[in-house]
Amino acid sequence: MRLILKMTAVSVKMFMRQKEAVLWSILLPLFMVFLFSFVSFDGLGTISLGIVNHSSDTTLVGFLQPIKTLKIFEGEEEQELTRLREGDRALVLIIPASFQSAGTDSLTLYLNAERPQETQAGRVIVQRAVDEMVFRRHSVPRPTLRTESINSRNLSYIDFLLPGILAMSIMNSGIFGVAFGFVILKKRGILRRLLVTPINPRDFIISQVISRLMVLMLQVVIMVVAGMMLFELHFAGSLLDMLIVGVLGGIVFLAIGFTLSGVSKSEDQVAPLANVITLPMMFLSGIFFSRSNLPGIAHTITDFFPLTYLADGLRTIAIEGATLGDIWQQVLGLAVWAVVTIALAVKAFRWE
Amino acid sequence: MSTVLEVQNLTKRYGDLVAVNGVSFSVNRQEIFGILGPNGAGKTSTLEMIETLRPIDSGTVMLDGLDVTKHPQKVKRIIGVQLQASAFFDKLSLTELLLLFGEMYSRQVDPLALLNEVELKDKAKSYVTDLSGGQKQRFSIAAALVNDPVILFLDEPTTGLDPQARRHLWGVIKRIRSEGKTVVLTTHYMEEAEELCERVAIMDNGKIIANAPPQELVQQLIGKGFKKERVERLASLEDVFLDLTGHSLRADQ
């Protein structure tokens, strides 16, 4: 026991002295959050509308222009239709030469068939602008719609992103750290050197796992604290719950790391394997963007990714202040993964 | 003289290859015993079986009265091992590494005394990666001494070292023996074996083909009528090299 504690302390010390490792696991995630905090996603929700006005009446255009959801381009008919075909416009509105705001001449609206969601919304908006024009002219009495937005916590993209990045860095330091670390220990003969001492090899593994989990907990605390101080993270949950879920996820990814180090002989073999496992999860587990846009089957498959469980769990705690009971599905998912991956690691791990 | 290591009919097979083929020898207490032989002769496999690193296919190894197959844990406590590629953790100073190795034997060690033993006291705070080849080998001997072992096993301790570093290491090994330890080493260098070893076993193709004190083996050869074609020179190129670059260790060694 004393030896395990001692080796754990030594491992943490070695980790802290490895500047690259500290950089990767603690500063890099923060830096990514920092970078993404500058990214504006306002442009993502807009609908591009080309307007070709053959008339001299600009009333309708005047009604359309202030609508924020629309990104309006005015141009020649041929040019705008080309843009539509090339996919640069969701809709193109043609206003005929004879158009008058008081008249009844038809307008033509071309829709980009490949962007049904945008064109549907754009069509309603254009129709609404036409109606508004008519209402204004006739001063038709009508009920008004008073809107009020309720979003007491005013969540931002950072609130979504930060727990995701945290989950991702837990995955990366678990898988890459252990897989590379142990392949190097094996290749350089350090494990063999330990095997001629009377230590129980299992104690060494345990100390490695504990020290890595301690670093992981440090990652969680630093991310949450730095998020609140630097990025206005709205952290509503319990830090302890974050740590528990983080450690559970960490165990899964450490076990994957041990498995990979068991099946590979050199760093060259570890790298592609680790990438094959981590890259799809990084992009499909809802780290940077919500998974809600994934098509049905992909959504169902990614539901079961360990990184999805971890990211969703951490995020729900952070944003909604959920307790472990509230996210029992994620906790259960990670626990099942932990059992599976530990079994794999025990089977695959080799000392030499 | 009492026997501290007794190896009998030791055999190791890798598939069809018989790497160690019925090897027997014994090592006396406080002796420096050399195992010589070309690459692939089975020296390292023999050592690794004695050191509990490899399962013994057949034969017995008795180490200070302990059967290696039956009591590997007890054997590990009384041996010190320097492996051919002895690597250590990065980012731990020599002192910290020795303390850690001491913990593995549940021992309180005095790192400075151990480093002093191998003349590395002034490197106590360095990392292994900052050491020269000779210093690394000497450190790895210090690490093998943390448990005050009965026998010290050194696998090609001087391979890849320059002449000064090699001579320096010889001095260290002789001193360790004079302090009561038994040393078993493998080497490719005959002058090293002549300089250090009381007795040598020469291995080839997994078998021991000679086992005697170096001088005796030389006499046997001369007795067979062997004569070197050239007259013995009074000095060799190595002597020139050492004369020009200094016999003793330089600061960076």
Selecting from B53, B100, B105 the residue whose C-beta is nearest the C-beta of A10 gives B100
Q: Cβ contact (<8 Å) for A193 and B81?
A: yes
Residues facing B82 on adjacent strands:
B154
Q: What is the mean pLDDT of chain A?
A: 88
Distance (Å, rounded) from C-alpha A95 to C-alpha A62? 13
The predicted pLDDT at position A302 comes to 92
The predicted pLDDT at position B234 comes to 79
Sign of the CA dihedral with B86 first, then B91, B94, and B98 last: negative
Q: What is the pLDDT of residues A178-229, one digit of tens each?
A: 999 899 888 888 888 998 999 888 888 999 999 999 999 999 999 999 999 9
Sign of the CA dihedral with A116 first, then A117, A118, and A119 last: positive
Q: What is the pLDDT of residues A48-98, one digit of tens each?
A: 899 999 988 888 888 888 888 888 899 899 999 998 888 888 899 999 988
B chain contacts of residue A194, beta-carbon cutoff 8 Å: 104
Q: Which residues of chain B have pLDDT under 70?
A: 1, 86, 230-232, 247-253
Q: Which residue on chain B is closest to A3 by alpha carbon?
A: B103
Q: How far is CA A210 from CA A12, A168, A251, B45, in A?
A: 9, 19, 10, 35
Collapsing DSSP to helix, strand or coil, A253 comes out as helix
Residue A149's pLDDT band, with cuts at 50, 70 and 90, is low
Selecting from A18, A196, A197 the residue whose C-beta is nearest the C-beta of B91 gives A18
Distance (Å, rounded) from C-alpha A238 to C-alpha A39? 28
Q: Which residue on chain A is closest to B101 by alpha carbon?
A: A197
What is the 3-class SS of A283-304, one letter each residue? HHCCCCCCHHHCCHHHHHHHHC
Q: Cβ contact (<8 Å) for B104 and A14?
A: no
Q: Cβ contact (<8 Å) for A194 and B96?
A: no
The predicted pLDDT at position B253 comes to 47
Q: Cβ contact (<8 Å) for B92 and A18?
A: no
Q: Cβ contact (<8 Å) for A193 and B79?
A: no
Of residues A17 and A152, which shows the higher confidence score? A17
Q: What is the pLDDT of residues A231-258, one digit of tens each?
A: 888 899 999 999 999 999 999 999 999 9
CA atoms within 13 A on the CB side of B137: 23
Rounded to two decimals, the pTM is 0.77
Distance (Å, rounded) from C-alpha B88 to C-alpha A7? 14
Interface test with A, best of B76, B82, B89, B108 (most A CBs within 10 A): B89
The predicted pLDDT at position B247 comes to 66
Biggest distance spanned by C-alpha atoms of chain A: 96
Which residues of B make CB contacts under 8 Å with A?
51-53, 73, 76-77, 79, 81, 83-92, 96, 100-101, 103-106, 143, 147
Percent helix / strand / coil, chain B, rounded to 5: 35, 25, 35
A chain contacts of residue B81, beta-carbon cutoff 8 Å: 193, 196
B chain contacts of residue A14, beta-carbon cutoff 8 Å: 89-92
Distance (Å, rounded) from C-alpha B192 to C-alpha B165? 12
A chain contacts of residue B52, beta-carbon cutoff 8 Å: 195-196
The predicted pLDDT at position B199 comes to 94
Q: Cβ contact (<8 Å) for B96 and A7?
A: no
Distance from CA of A35 to the nearest CA of B (A): 31
Distance (Å, rounded) from C-alpha B156 to C-alpha B173? 13
pLDDT over 90 at A41, yes or no: no
Which residues of A make CB contacts under 8 Å with B?
2-3, 6-7, 10, 13-14, 17-18, 188-190, 192-199
Distance (Å, rounded) from C-alpha A192 to C-alpha B48? 10
Tokens matching residue A53: 């006005």
Distance (Å, rounded) from C-alpha B206 to C-alpha B109? 38
Q: Cβ contact (<8 Å) for B53 and A199?
A: no
Distance (Å, rounded) from C-alpha B190 to C-alpha B193? 5
Pick the closest to residue B138 from B121, B248, A10 (CA basis). Answer: B121
- What phi-psi label fits residue A55: left (phi over 0), alpha (psi between -120 and 50 degrees) or beta? beta
Q: Cβ contact (<8 Å) for B103 and A2?
A: yes
Distance (Å, rounded) from C-alpha A54 to C-alpha A223? 56
Q: Cβ contact (<8 Å) for B86 and A17?
A: no
Q: Cβ contact (<8 Å) for A188 and B87?
A: yes
Distance from CA of A41 to the nearest CA of B (A): 43
Q: Taking the C-alpha atoms of A303, A305, A308 and A314 in order, what is their torsion angle to the nearest 10 degrees? A: 120
| pLDDT (mean) for A275-301 | 89
| pLDDT (mean) for A106-113 | 89
Q: Cα-flanking dihedrals φ and ψ of residue A135, to 5°? A: -55, -45
Q: Cβ contact (<8 Å) for B76 and A13?
A: no
| pLDDT (mean) for A289-308 | 88
Pick the closest to residue B186 from B154, B162, B209 (CA basis). Answer: B154
Q: What is the mean pLDDT of chain B?
A: 89
The predicted pLDDT at position A231 comes to 87
Distance from CA of B218 to the nearest CA of A (A): 36
Distance (Å, rounded) from C-alpha B80 to C-alpha B142? 9
- AA identity, residue A2: R
Interface test with B, best of A19, A186, A196, A208 (most B CBs within 10 A): A196
The predicted pLDDT at position A146 comes to 84
- AA identity, residue B42: G
pLDDT over 70 at A230, yes or no: yes
Q: Cβ contact (<8 Å) for B89 and A190?
A: yes
Distance (Å, rounded) from C-alpha A121 to C-alpha B15? 73
Question: What strands, in cross-sheet order, belong to the sheet with B58-63?
Answer: B17-28, B3-14, B58-63, B66-67
Interface test with B, best of A6, A16, A193, A351 (most B CBs within 10 A): A193
Identify the weakest region by mean pLDDT among A14-28, A268-282, B237-251. Answer: B237-251
The predicted pLDDT at position A352 comes to 73
A chain contacts of residue B79, beta-carbon cutoff 8 Å: 196
The predicted pLDDT at position B235 comes to 80
Q: Taking the C-alpha atoms of B161, B165, B169 and B171 in order, what is their torsion angle to the nearest 10 degrees? A: 150
Tokens matching residue B10: 């030791």
Helices (H), ranges, chain B: 43-50, 72-78, 94-104, 111-117, 133-144, 163-178, 190-196, 214-223, 237-245
Collapsing DSSP to helix, strand or coil, A52 comes out as strand
